[in-house]
Amino acid sequence: MPTDASTTASAPGIPPIGRKLEIPFTAVVNIRGDWLYHEHIGWDQGTVLAQLGLMPSYLPYPHAVPNTQGQEKLEYRVPIAGVETANKMRDKEAVESNEMFAFGLRKV
């Protein structure tokens, strides 16, 4: 989806920036007989925000962690892949699977 088009559904309030977004969509469709009864379309909003440069890779971790002094500042790796999500859907070998399971806290 080029962001010179209207992005009111995927990024409401964001003006066009001229950047191509690759957003995988899912659809759940209910058909009754020969009729489309209803459908639900969804996407990963984190993927959209990451590609727009609006989602940081790390966020401050606000909770106490056992076995630390409480003085350390920690950050949490946000489990968002960005354009890699679309790449993985096109080619299962494009991106390593399950990398997010290794995400965690880091000292700042």
Span 8-41, pLDDT tens digits: 567 888 888 888 889 989 999 999 999 999 999 9
Residue 21, token pair as written in the block: 């977004």
Contact present, 27 and 45 (Cβ < 8 Å): no
Predicted TM-score of the model (pTM): 0.73
| Category of 98 on φ-ψ map: left (φ > 0), alpha (ψ -120 to 50) or beta | left
- DSSP summary character for residue 2: B
Span 47-78, pLDDT tens digits: 999 999 999 999 999 988 887 776 788 999 99
Whole-number pLDDT of residue 78: 93
